[in-house]
Structure 1
Amino acid sequence: MINNLMMIQLLFLSSIFMILSMIFIMMKNIILIEWLIYSINSYNMKFIILIDWMMLIFLSVIMFISSMVMLYSKEYMKMELKKKYFIMILFLFVLSMILMVISPNIISIILGWDGLGLISYCLIIYYQNIYSFNSGMLTLLTNRIGDVMLLIMIFLIFNLGSWNLMFYKMSNKLLMILFLIMIMTKSAQIPFSMWLPAAMAAPTPVSSLVHSSTLVTAGIYLLIRYQKLFLFNNMNFMIMIIGMLTMIISSINAILDYDLKKIIAFSTLSQLGLMMMMLSIKLTNYVFFHLLSHAMFKSLLFLCSGVIIHFMNNMQDIRFMGNLIYETPLIIMYMNFSNLSLCGFPFLSGFYTKDLMYEMILNYNLNFYIYNLMYLCIMLTVMYSMRLMYYLIFNMNMFYSLSMKMDNWTMSISMFMLFLMSLIFSTFMNWLLFSSMNFSIINLNIKNILYFMMLIGLILINMKYFNYNLKMYFYTLIIKLMMFFYLLKITMLNNFMILMFSKSLMKINEFGWNEYYMKYLMKDFLNMINKNFYLFHLNKFIQMFMMFIYLYLILFMINW
C-alpha cells in the first residue's frame, strides 16, 4: 500500500514540475525566495530557494525515476521482511536530493549532501553480509572526505558574510579545490572511483535510483550550477584531465569485468567522466541534457538487469547467462535499446546528447591527444556494450535455471514507462532546449570518424583471437587496472591481517598499560600541578619552591 501511495504522489509531482519547467523556459523566469533565519552584526543567515527551469526539470526526472523504482520494488522486494523500511529509506533519499537541488545555500547543500551519503550507506548494507558491510563502509568513508571538504568551505566562506555560493565571483583557488574534491567524491571520479562498483552490493532498485540517476549526478549538477566559479579560477584543464582519466579506466574495467551490475556501474562511471570533461569546455546546457537522458536509460538498464538476476536464481556472472533472447525477449529488447542509447545509436536518446557534445567539442581548439583519447573512449563504449549483449544473447551455456521465470505486470509497467521515456524524452528535450538555429556544421569526414571508431570497436570485440591474446600479453596490467589502485583488494576481501591488527590495537589500548599511560597520566599530572598552585596560594615556601622546579622542567622539555 505504501508503495502505491508514494509512487502516485511522485508521479503526480513529476508531471507538475515538468509542465512548470516548460512554462519557465518559455517565460524565461527565475524566482528567488529568501528566508532570513538569523542576523548578527553584518552577517545574515538566509535560507534561499532558487526556482528556475533547470531545477524544475531535474526534480521532475528524479521524481519520475523514483516513482518507477517504487513500483518495481513492490514486486522485487516482495519476499523481504523489512520492505516498508526499504521504501521509507528510498523516500528519504528523494527528500535529501530535493533539499540539495532547490537551494544555492551551502547549509542546505550540506544537509542534502550528508543525507545522501548516510541513506546510501543504509541502502547498501540492506543485505547484511560481509561484502555489503565492506562496500557500505568504503562508500561512507569516501563520501566523508567530500563532507569534510564542504565543512571546511563553510568555515572559509563564513568570512565573506554569506553562505550563498551563487552570488560570488571569487578568485580563491583553495576554496575551489575543496569544492572540486567534494564533487569528485560524490560523482566517483578518479581516485575516488572504487566505491561506485562496490556499491552494487545494494538491491537492484537502489542501484537504479541511487547509483545511476541521482546520487552520482548530484556532484555533476553542482558543477553545472557553479561552473562559472571554476572557470573564474582557471580550473577547467584540471577538470578535463580528471574526467578523461575516469572515462578511460572505467571503460577498460567494464570490458574486463564479468559481474553484470558492475559492468553497468563502470559504464555509469564512464559517462560521468564524459560529463566532467565536457563541463571543462563550458558546454553546460549540453551536459545537463545528457545528464537527464542518461538517467532515464541507465535506470532502465539496471531494472532489466535486476529482472535477469531474479530469473537466474540470483546469479550475477554473465558467463552463466546466454540465450536469453528466447526466454525473456521483452527484457532483452529493453536492454538492447538502452545499450544502443548508451553507444549513441542514431535517433535514440544517446544520439541527441552524446553526438551533440562530441560535435560541439570538435569546434574547440583542443590538444590532438585529447581528441585521440576521446575517440578511444567512444570505441571502448561500443566494445563493452556489445560484449555485454553478446554474453546475454548469443553465449551458449548449460546453466538453465530460467524455469523459475515469472513475468510480473508491475515490473513490466515500470520498465515500459522508462523505455518509453528513454525513446521520447531526448527528442522532446532537444526540441524544447535547443532551437533549430543552434546546431553545429562540421566536416563530414570528421563526423564520420565517430562512426568509424564505433565500427572498429564492434569488429575488435568480435575477434576472439584478439581478446585471448590481449589477456595473455597484458595480464598483469589488466589485473592492476581492475584493482583501481588496490582499493578493491583492501576493501572487498575479508582481510584477516587487518582485522587481527585492529583487535590487538584495541587490546593494548583498552586492557593494557597503555590505558593508564594515555588516559590517566596526564590527568594525574595536571591534578598535581593544580594542588601545588593551591598550596602556593596559601604561601607555603616549600610548595612554592617545588612549583618553580616543576615549571622549570616543563619549559626545559618544551625547549628541548
Structure 2
Amino acid sequence: MFIEWMIFSLHSCDIKFIMFIDWMMLMFISVVMFISSMVMIYSKEYMMMDLKKKYFIMILMMFVISMILMIISPNIISIILGWDGLGLISYCLIIYYQNMYSYNSGMLTLLINRIGDVMLLMMIFMMLNLGSWNLLFYSFNNKMFIMMFLIMLMTKSAQVPFSMWLPAAMAAPTPVSSLVHSSTLVTAGIFLLMRFNKIFLLNSMSIIIMFFGLMTMLIASINALMEFDFKKIIAFSTLSQLGLMMLMLSLGMTNYVFFHLISHAMFKSLLFLCSGVMIHYMNSMQDIRYMGNLINETPLVVLYFNFSNLSLCGFPFLSGFYSKDLLYEMMLISNLNKLTYYMLYLCIMLTMMYSIRLTYYLIFNLNMFNSLSMKFDSFLMNTSMCLLFYMSIIFGSMINWLLFSSLMLSIIDLNIKFNLYLMMLLSSSMMLIMKIIYIDYKLFFYNLINLLSMFLYLLKISLYNNFNLLKFSQLLMNINDLSWNEYYGSFMMKFILNKINLMTFSLYINKFMLMILMFIYFIMGIYLFLYLYSLNKTL
C-alpha cells in the first residue's frame, strides 16, 4: 500500500513524502515500538536520580520517531529525515554524560555517520534527472550510485572500515545502548539493504557485500573475546550478528534475514538491560574482571542474562535458535565456496566462546568487589526485563510459525547439521582449556592478542583522524574567532561606523562649521525655489 503526499513539484521533479505499508514495515515498527516502550519503562527507574531525566526521555522519543520515519519510506528524500535524525539524536545521547570520553565517542560517531549522510546527498543529486526519488521503482545499472548506497548503509550499520563508532558509542546510558544497538540505529542500514536488495543483486555486488559481512563477523567476534568492558562485549556481539546479516543478504535471503533481525533485537535488548542492572549493582563498574558471584546476589537478572546469552548462541528452542539455524541451513544448501563455510563455522565457534567467557566471568569468577551495598529491588526494571525475557523465549517460534510455515522447509543431511553442534561443543571445550592453560603460554602470544584486541589498529586510525580534525577545527577557531579575522571582520565595520559617527558629531559641535552648513542649506533652498518657480511658469 502506497500513501503519497506531494510536497511540491518543480518542473518534472516531484518531491513527495511516501509511506510504503507492507508486512515487513508493520512488523518491524511493532518490534521497535515494543522494545522502545520497555526501554522507556526501564529508564524511568534507571535514570531516577538524574537531573535531566525529562530531557533524556524526550530525546529517546525523538529517536524512536526518526526511526519510524526511516522505516516507513522508500523515498530517499523522506529517508533523509529519519536518517539524519538518527545520526544527530544518537550524538546527543552519546554525549549525555558530559565527560571527555563521551565527547570523543560522540564526535567519532558523528563524523563516521556524516560519511553516510554525504553519500545520501550525492545520491539525491544523482537521481535528480530521473524525476523521482522512489528507489523501489528503479533497477539501476550504475556502479557509482550503488557503491555510494552501499557505503551509506555500511556507515550506519557499522560494517568493517566504519565499525569503530559502535563500541565507542557505549559511552551512552545503558537504556540508550539497548535501544540503539539492538533494534534501531544499527539495524537501519540492514533494513534498507533488505528493502532495496534487488538493486544490489542486479549490479552483482553480492561478492563485495559478502566480503564486508565476513570481515565484520570475524573481527568483531575476536574483539569480543579480547575485551573486558561489559557493554563493549555486547556491542561487539551485535556487530558480529550484523556481519552475519550482511553475509546472508548477499545471498538474497531477505525474509530470513528480517526474521533474524527482529528476533535478535529482542534478546539483544534484554542483554543490554540486564547489563545495566548489573553495572548498577556493581557501583557503575563495567569491567567484567571485577564482577563475579552474581548468581548469589541477583539470581533473577542472571537468569534473564543467561537465557538471552544462550539465545544468542542459538541454543535449541530459544528465540535465536529458530532464526539462526534457519540462516545457517539456507547457507549450507546455497552454492558457496569452502573458505566462506570455514569462516562461518569459525564465527559460530567464536560466538560460543565469548558467550561462555562472559557467563564464566559473571557467575563463577571470584568477586573481589563489595557490591551488596548497592543492591535494591527495582520493580519497573524487572517488569521490562521480564516481558523481554518472555518474548526472547517465544518470539522465535511464533514468528517462525507466522512467516515460514508455508514458505520453505529446509531438509539437510544430519551429518552436516551435526557439524554446527560439534563446533559449539568444540568451542566450549576450547574455552575450558584456555582457562586451565598456564599464563606464560598466553604471554607468548602477547603481540598477536594485542593486535587483535586493537581491532587491527582500526581504533588508532579512527582516533588519530579524529584528533587531527579537532586540531584543524581549533586552528580555524583561532584564525576566525580569536585573531585578526575577528578584528577585520565584525569589529572593522563597527570601527568605521563609529569613526563616521564621531566626525558628524564633531561637525555639529563646531560653531564655524555650523555657519558654513547654514550657508550651504540657504543656497540650496534658493536654487530649489527658483527651479520650482520656472517649472510652474512652463506648465
TM-score by length of 2: 0.87
C-alpha contact 2:19 2:73 (8 A) present in aligned 1 = yes
CA-to-aligned-CA distance 1:282-324 (integer Å, 9 cap, x gap): 1110000000000000000000000000000000000000111
**Structure-1 residue corresponding to 2:92:** 122
**Structure-1 residue corresponding to 2:459:** 488
- C-alpha distance in structure 2 between counterparts of 1:92 and 1:498, whole Å: 29
Q: Which amino acid aligns with 1:318?
A: I
**Structure-2 residue corresponding to 1:433:** 403
How many residues in Structure 1 have an aligned counterpart in Structure 2? 489
Moved more, 366-375 or 476-485: 476-485
Larger CA Rg, structure 1 vs 2? 2
C-alpha contact 2:161 2:458 (8 A) present in aligned 1 = no
Q: Partner of 2:17: helix, strand, or coil?
A: strand
- C-alpha distance in structure 2 between counterparts of 1:366 and 1:492, whole Å: 37
C-alpha contact 2:108 2:466 (8 A) present in aligned 1 = no
Change (3 A) 1:80 1:453: same
Pairs within 5 Å for 1:156-171: 156-171=126-141
**Structure-2 residue corresponding to 1:99:** 69
Change (3 A) 1:492 1:175: closer
Q: Partner of 2:18: helix, strand, or coil?
A: strand
Pairs within 5 Å for 1:146-185: 146-185=116-155
**Structure-2 residue corresponding to 1:547:** none
Change (3 A) 1:477 1:163: same
Match of residue 418, structure 2, among 426, 429, 448: 448
Q: Partner of 2:6: helix, strand, or coil?
A: strand
Match of residue 369, structure 1, among 339, 350, 361: 339
CA-to-aligned-CA distance 1:404-436 (integer Å, 9 cap, x gap): 100111000000000001111111100000125
Match status 1:75 vs 2:36: no
**Structure-2 residue corresponding to 1:556:** none
Displacement after TM superposition at 1:343 (Å): 0.4
Query: Gaps spanning 5+ residues in structure 1: where?
Result: 1-30, 520-560
RMSD of aligned Cα (Å): 2.3
Match of residue 253, structure 2, among 283, 288, 294: 283
Displacement after TM superposition at 1:441 (Å): 1.0
- C-alpha distance in structure 2 between counterparts of 1:298 and 1:517, whole Å: 56
Q: Which amino acid aligns with 1:336?
A: N
Q: Partner of 2:3: helix, strand, or coil?
A: strand
Pairs within 5 Å for 1:201-280: 201-280=171-250
Match of residue 475, structure 1, among 446, 451, 472: 446
Displacement after TM superposition at 1:470 (Å): 6.4
C-alpha contact 1:460 1:466 (8 A) present in aligned 2 = no
**Structure-1 residue corresponding to 2:356:** 386
**Structure-2 residue corresponding to 1:413:** 383
State the identity as a percent. 70
- C-alpha distance in structure 1 between counterparts of 2:75 and 2:211, whole Å: 29
- C-alpha distance in structure 2 between counterparts of 1:425 and 1:496, whole Å: 44
Displacement after TM superposition at 1:498 (Å): 8.4
Change (3 A) 1:240 1:518: farther
CA-to-aligned-CA distance 1:299-358 (integer Å, 9 cap, x gap): 000000000000000000000001111110000000100000000000001110011110
Q: Which amino acid aligns with 1:33?
A: I
- C-alpha distance in structure 1 between counterparts of 2:385 and 2:316, whole Å: 22
CA-to-aligned-CA distance 1:223-266 (integer Å, 9 cap, x gap): 00000000010000100000000000000000000000000000
Match of residue 273, structure 2, among 303, 314, 325: 303
- C-alpha distance in structure 2 between counterparts of 1:45 and 1:499, whole Å: 37
Change (3 A) 1:502 1:209: closer
- C-alpha distance in structure 2 between counterparts of 1:336 and 1:502, whole Å: 46
C-alpha contact 2:345 2:420 (8 A) present in aligned 1 = yes
Moved more, 41-50 or 69-78: 41-50
TM-score by length of 1: 0.84
- C-alpha distance in structure 2 between counterparts of 1:199 and 1:518, whole Å: 39
Q: Which amino acid aligns with 2:295?
A: I
Change (3 A) 1:233 1:469: farther
Change (3 A) 1:431 1:71: same
CA-to-aligned-CA distance 1:506-527 (integer Å, 9 cap, x gap): 54676668999999xxxxxxxx
Displacement after TM superposition at 1:438 (Å): 1.8
